[in-house]
Amino acid sequence: MRSNAAVSLDHPGLADEREHVQSALPGARALISMAVRMNRDNCRSPARSVANKEFHQAELRHKLADRDAAIRDLEQFRELAISRLAAQHDEITRLRRHAATAMAGNVRSLTPRLTSQETS
């Protein structure tokens, strides 16, 4: 069973909603509503209850699969981040050692200045 209704935005009953509708749907001149009856069975029938539970279980399984995939992605990201940090640490340590050995041959000791009292 299907029922449709259309009403112009100029209808006085829509005065409170007109501004909101025009901001959401610029150029709209009328609103249409459609109502569709999905199941003719009683809302509390066992068949409908089972179908509803199966639907929600399928939705939960889908959400769990999405969550598991997100966890796997985060674990891979964590491993990559940790390995990059370790590599950066090793590289910094190597560069510091290289800089220390390279500077050792190029650095001369400064001779202390003699004060005026020591020269007399």
In eight-state DSSP terms, residue 33 is E
Task: Give residue-wise pLDDT tens across range 4-28.
Answer: 678 888 888 888 888 888 888 888 8
Percent of the chain's residues with pLDDT above 90: 30
Per-residue pLDDT for 66 more than 80? yes
16: three-class secondary structure by DSSP:
coil
Per-residue pLDDT for 2 more than 60? no
Task: Give residue-wise pLDDT tens across range 36-61.
Answer: 666 566 667 777 788 889 989 999 99
Q: If you search the block for the tokens 């370790």, which residue do you land on?
A: 86
User: For residues 12 and 34, which has the higher predicted lDDT (pLDDT)?
Assistant: 12
Per-residue pLDDT for 109 more than 60? no
Domain boundaries, given as residue ranges, for the chain = 1-37, 43-104
Please report the pLDDT score of residue 18 as a whole number. 87
Helices (H), the chain: 18-24, 46-106, 116-119
Q: Which two tokens stand for residue 9?
A: 């935005």
